[in-house]
Structure 1
């Protein structure tokens, strides 16, 4: 049906030109632009080196690679070069796309990809059309019109959520920018407002609980609003209300370094993208969110702790990360989750969703939430959050959490109590496995009896960012953590748990393979109705209160 709609859209009368001069809104990366010029194509986590082939001559190694190419996000990177070589490559590849796929053929004729592509084409129209002759400009206008008319007919078939927001935002952008296309704008504006009400809840969250996806949606809503304002129009109240609801959530999910918390398939986001989006919305004073899309935030003196305090979403992207946390000190991530493994293949995707890939406690062989039986990838057996309370005291900010993820399997619940000191220099925690109810105690006793009272093995994990240098010190009783900023943090366990420093991975989009890193692991065996592990993570005494930290060498995630 997409192919038929694309063919039929070719009968529409092409636009005669622009109603207003477009302005680029998306920002790419200079380094990635240079890679593209050299014939190094890194898309969807897969690398193809073909210096003598254009992007469209390369055989896509996967459908995700092909989709990212068809979405034209790489056009931002070529535009970031700001030189003749980048402009020539952008113009040549766009002309090749029109020749190969512009009549409705190929993999790019899906509503969300067409919307994503139209936004780039319209935003970068001055770059794409500079110096082109009349025939080339007319070919571009015909191809743009065909995509716009295709979107006007097929946007309802885009999946609810981010794909449909992309489709509608692209339709609004192109409809406002091109002559003779205004009739398509009003239905798209109405549909976008309706989706803002349906897909964004009263607290500003989305069903996937993916922070990076929420940022993408906010960015699209802001771009659509700016396009409407540029045409002398106003966004509908539901559209503006959605923006105002989303912004406090993203502020709560922003680490001190400007990156997002990495949960449920989302990454930290492209460098500066979150701050640019937040800067476009006035700050409205209001009550602090207790939970932002199910996440709790502790923050003091440039130390941020973001905790997953809700069950995972039931869909295909949810992670078993309940009660896991990330910690960032200034501009440096310290404690992280492994992240989304989808760019590295199905095995990494499944591993990234499991509880041991997050900085929290896990019973050996069991995630806190588990996938459905029969090879399905949806979360069927999801942990329920029993408690999520925060409080303030002279010592700092307290967070008390609990979930019942192992109640049915082991008769045990996980309690996590966190205290971030008022000066931000220490995070103290206590993690407890406990049988809380009579039914759970009975279940635990039955399990112990069947197992010969060998106990329930468990591990408390703290995954470290790859830039952190970790060493065991003081006879293996303390882990020293050195950040590139010069800060030193010390991790100390309390109680009888065994402390080890083990290999881990950091799954970062835009990389060819997972980055090697380390994890702190506290292992123990629960043989009673309650097993408790205490720990502290504190800055060393000789670490100053403030450090000038300007050197950032890490490559940001691709937008």
Structure 2
């Protein structure tokens, strides 16, 4: 069983241990018995349809996940799999949407076959694949795609699925808030709410789920709509789960509460603010690749302003936008461990796009390339900001979270001669290096010029490195005897980078995109000595 092989993040303590003993007791399965649902009262429609090409790949035994294809044909082969994120996705059955999109008779049979295998192998409690967020996603998927799974199926199979939905919903009702904190609880609650809508005589699940959902949204959403993870990818998933709940309620003719409508509106506005010129999301605190099509489809479900707000004071992000130039900057403290276990030490870093081309980026994130990669991408050096003495601006804990974080990050915004200015300051280095990092960034009204200044105020530290990681589609070339660099994106105008007449170095870097395979890229580096008197590095980016 997966419970014997997977390392999962569950709440610790006496109660958790007692519940584990209770759930793993063979007698516990008898407590899940009850009246089997004879049918479903209805099935919520899909908010977004699946991908037919992905469905065809699944039919061929190759499951695409985070840019890779995992060979899989049977739940009996899972002992050979080791990646937790992939296994969570597999057990969630979210991929039924892709099979359904293919629409052939083969897809019905294959979906039925895999569910039958799952019922045979995992009908008893397992602390991984019955984890509340995975369980909630699976219940929601089975309910949403029940009509698809019913095509050509015999009644014996359908009765087993209905019976299992009843059993899993009973357990979900008991455990829904005992799993991982943060966004996984929203996913778990979605499953419980779907069960309350679709299973006969299960209104109590709906009442329980909606009551808990309101509390969780209030815990997890900043007043400006940002998710407490400060991860744009989680922001997107947060909105999608809540929009799917809203659609399920509407389709079943339940009243959608005002608090859910209002939450979806401000969460969508925050998501809009995390987009760069290509329509995708900026990468902060573990955020990964996400296609612009999905984001556009989600935002089309909510009426929001076309132009994103410029400041998200509670979430800790600022946005500069002029013409086709967009800059998003992280001016917040790192997320708490319960909000985002794998937050990054990227204080005052930014990402920049011109038109549809990304220019300046952070290196990204990965959860499937091993621990060394995982931790390296969390470090300050993997972000477009200043690093002093190879020390992170927030001390990473390899088990998740941080051992040291900035006590405060101050940020102000003003207009200066028609130019928007962000002025931010972090004390992340003060405790150990007696340094304050201040970053000022100004964008011209037509987006053709960006002026920046990084100040290191204090007497500590020996050497600073100012990094600007470039997107793989940008080629950098030194000009003016190494005192400037020409940046040439794949499309559009080139940009000139200069820094105080200081020498600029071009070094190798890496970038993690949707394939989760490191792509070779470049980084611009400006470095210097501190010598007990701090430093001020002025730099500029000018469109040719």
Range into which the TM-score falls when normalised by the shorter chain? 0.7 to 0.9
Aligned to 1:488: 494
Give 1:334 deviation, angstroms: 1.7
Instruction: Give the counterpart of 1:368 among 393, 397, 401.
Output: 393
Instruction: Give the counterpart of 1:529 among 526, 533, 536.
Output: 533
Instruction: Give the counterpart of 1:57 among 70, 77, 96.
Output: 77
Consecutive unaligned residues in structure 1, runs of 5 or more: 436-440, 448-455, 541-559
Aligned to 2:260: 239
Aligned residues: 517
Aligned to 1:191: 212
Return the alpha-carbon distance in structure 2 between the equivalents of residues 336 and 28 of structure 1: 29
Return the alpha-carbon distance in structure 1 between the equivalents of residues 166 and 48 of structure 2: 21
Aligned to 1:520: 524
Give 1:21 deviation, angstroms: 4.4
When normalised by structure 1's length, the TM-score is: 0.85
Q: Relative to 1, partners in 2 of residues 1:458 and 1:288: Cα closer, same or farther, differing over 3 Å?
A: closer
**Is the aligned partner of 1:175 residue 2:196?**
yes
Where 1:306 maps in the other structure, the secondary structure is strand
Q: Relative to 1, partners in 2 of residues 1:86 and 1:518: Cα closer, same or farther, differing over 3 Å?
A: farther
Instruction: Give the counterpart of 1:80 among 79, 101, 112.
Output: 101
Give 1:331 deviation, angstroms: 2.1
Return the alpha-carbon distance in structure 1 between the equivalents of residues 249 and 417 of structure 2: 49
Q: Relative to 1, partners in 2 of residues 1:467 and 1:371: Cα closer, same or farther, differing over 3 Å?
A: same
Give 1:306 deviation, angstroms: 0.6
**Is the aligned partner of 1:411 residue 2:434?**
yes
CA deviation profile, 1:109-155 (whole Å, cap 9, x unmatched)? 11110111122222222222212122222222122222222211211
CA deviation profile, 1:192-217 (whole Å, cap 9, x unmatched)? 11222232233323332222212212
Aligned to 1:453: none
Give 1:378 deviation, angstroms: 2.7
**Is the aligned partner of 1:397 residue 2:410?**
no
Return the alpha-carbon distance in structure 2 between the equivalents of residues 160 and 408 of structure 1: 30
Return the alpha-carbon distance in structure 2 between the equivalents of residues 72 and 21 of structure 1: 16
Aligned to 2:456: 433
Return the alpha-carbon distance in structure 1 between the equivalents of residues 424 and 463 of structure 2: 21
Return the alpha-carbon distance in structure 2 between the equivalents of residues 468 and 293 of structure 1: 30
Give 1:337 deviation, angstroms: 0.7
Q: Relative to 1, partners in 2 of residues 1:525 and 1:27: Cα closer, same or farther, differing over 3 Å?
A: farther
Return the alpha-carbon distance in structure 1 between the equivalents of residues 127 and 423 of structure 2: 53
Where 2:504 maps in the other structure, the secondary structure is strand
Moved more, 53-62 or 456-465: 53-62
Aligned to 1:141: 162
Return the alpha-carbon distance in structure 2 between the equivalents of residues 489 and 208 of structure 1: 33
Moved more, 62-71 or 350-359: 62-71
Consecutive unaligned residues in structure 2, runs of 5 or more: 1-19
Where 1:272 maps in the other structure, the secondary structure is helix
Moved more, 85-94 or 157-166: 85-94
Alignment RMSD: 2.6
**Is the aligned partner of 1:464 residue 2:470?**
yes
Aligned to 2:129: 108
Return the alpha-carbon distance in structure 1 between the equivalents of residues 464 and 309 of structure 2: 38
Aligned 8 A contact 1:355 1:367 in 2: yes
Instruction: Give the counterpart of 1:254 among 265, 271, 275.
Output: 275
Where 2:210 maps in the other structure, the secondary structure is helix
Question: What pairs with 1:24-423 in structure 2 (closer than 5 Å)?
Answer: 24-43=46-65, 48-49=70-71, 53-54=73-74, 56-58=76-78, 59-104=80-125, 107-283=128-304, 289-291=311-313, 293-315=315-337, 316-371=341-396, 377-423=400-446
Q: Relative to 1, partners in 2 of residues 1:376 and 1:113: Cα closer, same or farther, differing over 3 Å?
A: closer
Aligned 8 A contact 1:425 1:539 in 2: yes
Q: Relative to 1, partners in 2 of residues 1:6 and 1:57: Cα closer, same or farther, differing over 3 Å?
A: farther
Q: Relative to 1, partners in 2 of residues 1:495 and 1:55: Cα closer, same or farther, differing over 3 Å?
A: farther
Q: Relative to 1, partners in 2 of residues 1:529 and 1:469: Cα closer, same or farther, differing over 3 Å?
A: same
Aligned 8 A contact 2:311 2:317 in 1: no
Q: Relative to 1, partners in 2 of residues 1:232 and 1:328: Cα closer, same or farther, differing over 3 Å?
A: same
Give 1:182 deviation, angstroms: 2.8
Aligned 8 A contact 2:345 2:395 in 1: yes
Return the alpha-carbon distance in structure 2 between the equivalents of residues 508 and 37 of structure 1: 25
Give 1:381 deviation, angstroms: 1.9
**Is the aligned partner of 1:13 residue 2:13?**
no
Q: Relative to 1, partners in 2 of residues 1:380 and 1:104: Cα closer, same or farther, differing over 3 Å?
A: closer
Q: Relative to 1, partners in 2 of residues 1:296 and 1:36: Cα closer, same or farther, differing over 3 Å?
A: same
When normalised by structure 2's length, the TM-score is: 0.88
Where 2:177 maps in the other structure, the secondary structure is helix
Return the alpha-carbon distance in structure 1 between the equivalents of residues 540 and 160 of structure 2: 64
Q: Relative to 1, partners in 2 of residues 1:128 and 1:384: Cα closer, same or farther, differing over 3 Å?
A: same
Where 1:344 maps in the other structure, the secondary structure is coil
